[in-house]
């Protein structure tokens, strides 16, 4: 898990791997981070989750679609 404190921009980033997604309670973690942030109304917790598909294959498909316009 990687945490990036960007409260000055209004959010906290949380990056989770596939394995971490299996055991991390995102709701509880968000509540904890917001409590620590001080003013939760001015801050959001943003989760970035690893996907299950092959990254290279998905990136190639995205690039090809963008090239086709």
- With cut-offs at 50, 70 and 90, classify the pLDDT of residue 14: very high
Tally of domains within the chain: 1
The rounded radius of gyration (Å) of the Cα atoms in the chain is 16
Cα 66 to Cα 12, 22, 31, 59, 63, distances in angstroms? 30, 33, 38, 11, 5
- 17-60 residue pLDDT tens: 999 999 999 999 999 999 988 766 789 999 999 888 888 998 99
pTM exceeding 0.85: no
- Structural domain span for residue 41: 2-68
For residues 12 and 45, the answer to whether their CB atoms sit within 8 Å is yes
């Amino acid at each position: 898990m990687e945490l990036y404190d960007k409260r000055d921009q209004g959010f906290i980033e949380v990056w989770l791997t596939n394995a971490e997604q299996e055991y991390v309670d995102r709701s509880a973690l968000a509540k904890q981070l917001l409590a620590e942030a001080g003013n939760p109304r001015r801050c959001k917790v943003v989760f970035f989750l690893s996907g299950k598909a092959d990254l290279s294959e998905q990136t190639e498909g995205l690039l090809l679609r963008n090239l086709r316009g």
